[in-house]
């Protein structure tokens, strides 16, 4: 829909979260002329990129009374995307500041991502909008506006009225635990990757890691450095899979999924192999969770599908007063946060209009029908990896923005292919220098970097 000629209005907007999504949302809202308050439980910006050795008090994260750690980072974590395609479009994730004290690798450590987000917040003076150590405990619609209740570290609680609320609270805190037949009587220790930090608790243990995507691949190899044996259970593999993976300790295997866990400590895989294990680590992903949101049942979360949401952002009945930035799972997250938040900001000001609630519902149902026709289950409603540029370019067009750069899309695709085919080395071996060159050329043309485009590649040789 084309931008309208409506007068631009400024709104009072609450943003929940000062992670990557909340930071760029705050910037875009302010750029559009809105007045913004960002709430965050933490003491600093960065969201899940703030590493803490502390984990949840319940390592499976099932106990509702547990103390909760927001971050899911492990000490050894490096990005799973090349930095050029990971950053915001107008503030590239290039090596910055004092080169020596920063991590200039193409797939840097989590510390470098936090430093980048801190640079971003400083550059665009975001911190002045943030109320740190302030948790939003309730958000509800009241007479066309939004009541936000928050509490700070002193226990103080207050209600405030906003014209709109943008939810940027992340979705990597509430673990999804795979169902293993017989697990209730299995005597070993269980934990979720959300609570994995370092391999030390697994010294000389026999460990089963369930899940073999980005975190599972990393964590199994991290644990293999100190464990006696590590066995990966992968639902994506054929039932007879049994492969030894080459690691220096010679102690890592991939299996098909688990058939059964038994009271004698054994784990039986569908390939027929039996392992007596001390630990299970679930690398089985996360669930959407918005405990503060009270919409009288209008917004529901069934099978990890938050609905109804127009373009995964606006619940039709509450649009544009309530929106979500950062909900879909796709590779180029930060680009998505930037594009979605520009859209939300422009819709709130009246510069762009949304279709009627009925039309938005029609669009949502059409998306469900498309997923259905492709055989994609409901739990993958927000997994847009295969549609990411189609999705982002649709919103970009609404906002009058240029489409996602081809080099960015290609870097993400080729990075993903390397992650799957060479999980041990994909961060340090690549064959897409041409795409790096293109990215830096693009940054230079847009005057986003102050060094020669070839400098990064030359300095890496």
> Residue numbers of the site for ligand FAD (CB under 6 A)?
16-22, 39-42, 47-49, 70, 72-73, 79-81, 86, 135-136, 168-170, 172, 215, 292, 326, 333-334
Q: Which residue number, 394 or 416, has a Cβ lying nearer to ligand FAD? A: 416
Residue whose token pair is 């996602």:
404
Take residue 376 and report the two structure tokens written for it: 């994609």
Task: Answer for the pair 161, 147: CB distance below 8 angstroms, yes or no.
Answer: yes
Distance CA 348, CA 329 (A): 24
Residue 386 CB, shortest distance to ligand FAD, in Å, is: 17
Cα–chain center distance at 50: 14
* DSSP for residue 49: G
Residue 4 CB, shortest distance to ligand FAD, in Å, is: 29
Neighbours of 325 (CB within 10 A): 27
Q: Which residue number, 68 or 268, has a Cβ lying nearer to ligand FAD? A: 68
Residue 244 CB, shortest distance to ligand FAD, in Å, is: 26
Prior bond of 320 cis (ω within 30°): yes
User: ∠ at Cα 452 (450, 458), nearest 5°?
Assistant: 130
Q: Which residue number, 269 or 407, has a Cβ lying nearer to ligand FAD? A: 407
Q: Which residue number, 153 or 250, has a Cβ lying nearer to ligand FAD? A: 153
State the Rg of the chain over Cα.
23
Distance CA 4, CA 407 (A): 32
Residue 335 CB, shortest distance to ligand FAD, in Å, is: 9
Residue 452 CB, shortest distance to ligand FAD, in Å, is: 26
Task: Answer for the pair 15, 36: CB distance below 8 angstroms, yes or no.
Answer: yes
Which phi and psi angles does 352 have, rounded to 5°?
A: -130, 145
Distance CA 24, CA 117 (A): 10
Q: Determine how β-strand 130-131 pairs with β-strand 35-39.
A: parallel
Q: Which residue number, 116 or 318, has a Cβ lying nearer to ligand FAD? A: 116
Residue 450 CB, shortest distance to ligand FAD, in Å, is: 24
Residue 16 CB, shortest distance to ligand FAD, in Å, is: 5
Q: Which residue number, 61 or 80, has a Cβ lying nearer to ligand FAD? A: 80
Residue 439 CB, shortest distance to ligand FAD, in Å, is: 15
Distance CA 121, CA 113 (A): 12
Scanning 156-248, the segments in alpha helix (DSSP H) are 214-224
Neighbours of 28 (CB within 10 A): 25
Q: Determine how β-strand 258-261 pairs with β-strand 252-255.
A: unpaired
Q: Which residue number, 51 or 186, has a Cβ lying nearer to ligand FAD? A: 51
Q: Which residue number, 168 or 261, has a Cβ lying nearer to ligand FAD? A: 168
Distance CA 216, CA 195 (A): 13
Residue 250 CB, shortest distance to ligand FAD, in Å, is: 27
Q: Which residue number, 47 or 211, has a Cβ lying nearer to ligand FAD? A: 47
Neighbours of 1 (CB within 10 A): 10
Q: Which residue number, 41 or 231, has a Cβ lying nearer to ligand FAD? A: 41
Task: Answer for the pair 249, 228: CB distance below 8 angstroms, yes or no.
Answer: no
Residue 141 CB, shortest distance to ligand FAD, in Å, is: 17
């Amino acid at each position: 829909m084309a931008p309208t000629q409506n007068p631009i209005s400024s709104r009072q907007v609450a943003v929940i979260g000062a992670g990557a999504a909340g930071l760029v949302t705050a910037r875009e809202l302010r750029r559009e002329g809105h007045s913004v308050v960002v709430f965050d439980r933490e003491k600093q910006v960065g969201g899940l990129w703030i590493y803490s050795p502390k984990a949840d008090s319940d390592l499976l994260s099932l106990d509702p009374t547990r103390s909760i750690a927001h971050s899911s980072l492990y000490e050894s974590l490096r990005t799973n995307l090349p930095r050029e395609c990971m950053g915001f479009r107008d503030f590239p994730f290039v090596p910055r500041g004092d080169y020596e004290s920063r991590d200039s690798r193409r797939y840097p450590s989590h510390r470098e991502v936090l430093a980048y987000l801190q640079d971003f917040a400083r550059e665009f003076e975001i911190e002045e909008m943030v109320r740190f150590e302030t948790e939003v405990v309730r958000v509800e619609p009241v007479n066309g506006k939004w009541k936000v209740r928050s509490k700070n570290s002193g226990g103080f609680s207050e209600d405030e009225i906003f014209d709109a609320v943008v939810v940027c609270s992340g979705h990597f805190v509430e673990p999804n635990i795979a169902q293993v037949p017989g697990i209730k009587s299995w005597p070993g220790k269980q934990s979720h990757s959300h609570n994995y930090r370092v391999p030390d608790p697994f010294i000389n243990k026999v460990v089963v890691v369930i899940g073999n995507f980005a975190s599972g691949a990393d964590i199994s190899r991290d644990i293999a450095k100190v464990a006696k044996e590590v066995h990966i259970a992968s639902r994506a593999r054929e039932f007879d899979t049994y492969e030894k993976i080459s690691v220096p300790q010679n102690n890592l295997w991939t299996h098909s999924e688990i058939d059964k866990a038994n009271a004698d400590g054994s784990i039986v895989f569908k390939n027929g192999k039996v392992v007596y294990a001390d630990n299970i680590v679930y690398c089985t992903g996360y669930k959407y969770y918005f405990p503060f949101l009270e919409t009288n049942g209008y917004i529901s979360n069934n099978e990890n599908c938050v609905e109804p949401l127009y373009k995964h952002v606006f619940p039709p009945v509450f649009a544009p007063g309530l929106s979500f930035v950062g909900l879909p799972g796709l590779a180029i997250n930060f680009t998505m946060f930037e594009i979605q938040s520009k859209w939300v900001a422009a819709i709130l000001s009246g510069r762009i209009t949304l279709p009627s609630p009925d039309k938005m519902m029609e669009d949502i149902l059409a998306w469900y029908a498309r997923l259905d026709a492709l055989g994609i289950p409901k739990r993958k409603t927000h997994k847009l990896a295969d549609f990411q540029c189609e999705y982002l370019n649709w919103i970009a067009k609404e906002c009058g923005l240029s489409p996602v750069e081809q080099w960015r899309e290609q870097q993400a695709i080729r990075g993903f292919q390397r992650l799957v085919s060479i999980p041990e080395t994909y961060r340090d071996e690549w064959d897409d220098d041409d795409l790096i060159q293109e990215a830096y050329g693009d940054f230079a043309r847009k005057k986003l970097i102050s060094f020669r485009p070839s400098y990064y590649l030359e300095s890496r040789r």
